[in-house]
Amino acid sequence: MSTSMNNTHSKKRINEVLTGNYDKKYRPNMHGPPVIVTASVLINSFYSSTDTGMDFTVTLFLRTRWVDPRLEYTDDETQTLTLHSDGVNEVWVPPLYFPDEKSGQFHKLTTENVLLRIYPDGTVLHSARFTITLSCMMHLERYPMDEQTCNMEIESFSYTTVDLILQWAPDGDTLEAFGVREGISLPQFRFNQATPDRSRTTRNFTTGNFSYLTATISLQRQKELFIMSSYLPSLLIVVLSWFSFWINPNSEPARVSLVMTALLTLCTQMNGIQATVPRVAHLKAIDVWMSVCLVFVFAALVEYAAVNYISLQTRKSRRKQQSFEMINLIENKENNKVNHKSEDGRTSRESKGPESAVIGFQFRDVIDHVRPGQIDYHSRIAFPIAFMVFNIFYWPTYLCWLD
């Protein structure tokens, strides 16, 4: 009976405080020291992180705690008063905002997800759940083998450091300063760590100095996804273009179709990759890879053009050689017929014979030393070795990148 009367009396005391002299338009300690607001963030889910928008979206609990002497009650020190969303509007709450916010929304199913708890000594705990999209300036030189560090900032909107000071919850506090729920998985990233900056910092504006907090979220991109979707297909396309070196140079439709198909497929893949990342001024790791693959496939096409050109020249040289041999044979026969009639005939025969032999030697030299089959043979060795050398330098460079 006495316990019930104490509870009733305690509730009446709180109601009297909120409806009597309490005015939520004024901060606690209105003419005294600034209000120390302790903040805590718990990331409940991580929806996405987009490179094109340079942002990330999270659902989080923002918990803040401060002392308001006007809300003290001493009737029952073991009792706390919990207010629902309507009651929260009756209490002073520090006006905070996220400077890097792009968009956000409070959750209202089945009721507004907000909690306010008042302790006997005047301590007030406020907790709100909402989804927010924050900007994150990403450095994509190593994309898709990069690690990104995104900042989450909380700042006082209207109260300067004269009236309000923000701080992260200290170690060992019942509130965890900055936490991430276990088991969160992302399509492209995995969490490395989330660290709050405990140093008190202020920003200077023309309207005054404002207190703000910063926490860093370290994300590591999962390379396996891009190896299967980008690197492996492009690697197979490059290897496919090398099959043309084993096709007979006279099979022009087969060789041209194979290399052109590989080239167009690689260009389509490059366009698809570029559509998923922002257009930045610097080269990304994936840009270097795709560009080199494109060069190798294009080089295979140029190699066949050289083979085809040399093959045509060889055939022309053979035809010319045969023509010269035929002409020489006819001339020799004619010279033999008139050999006994004129000394000039012997002179003509002696002068034309060596000249024809020199011309024939030049064409035979071209045929012997520049053959289409030799170009294909050396390409089968040179192209894979060159691509292997590129890989030896590429992967250690970007995997062991030092910022």
Q: What is the pLDDT of residues 177-219, one digit of tens each?
A: 999 888 787 778 888 888 998 887 899 999 999 999 999 999 8
Residues 90-143 have pLDDT tens digits of 899 999 999 999 999 999 888 899 999 988 888 999 999 999 999 998 888 999
Q: How confident is the model at residue 11 (pLDDT cuts 50, 70, 90)?
A: very low
Residues 353-380 have pLDDT tens digits of 444 444 444 544 554 566 777 888 899 9
Cβ–Cβ < 8 Å for 136, 54: yes
Instruction: For residue 214, list its beta bridge partners.
Output: 153, 197
Q: Tell me what pLDDT residue 4 has.
A: 40
| Highest-confidence segment of 252-256, 314-318, 353-357 | 252-256
- Please calculate the CA angle 215-221-225 and round it to the nearest 5 degrees: 155
CA distances from 354 to 12, 239, 331, 351, 403 (A): 128, 50, 13, 6, 71
- Helical segments of 20-150, H only: 85-88
- Helical segments of 157-251, H only: 223-226, 232-242
Tokens representing residue 58 in the block: 């999270």
- Residue 9, pLDDT > 50, answer no
- Find, among 238, 159, 240, 231, the residue nearest to 202 by Cα: 159
Residues 43-97 have pLDDT tens digits of 998 877 777 778 889 999 999 999 998 888 776 666 788 888 778 888 999 999 9
What's the CA gap between 74 and 120, in Å, rounded? 6
Phi, psi of 201 (to 5 degrees): -125, 155
How far the first Cα of the chain sits from its last, in Å, is: 69
Sign of the C-alpha dihedral computed for residues 85, 89, 91 and 97 taken in this order: positive
The DSSP bridge pattern shows strands 96-97 and 123-135 to be unpaired
Q: Tell me what pLDDT residue 279 has.
A: 79
Q: Where are the beta strands (DSSP E) in 22-122?
A: 35-50, 55-67, 81-83, 96-97, 101-106, 114-118
Task: Enter the DSSP assignment of 284.
Answer: P
Q: How confident is the model at residue 250 (pLDDT cuts 50, 70, 90)?
A: confident
What's the CA gap between 352 and 360, in Å, rounded? 12
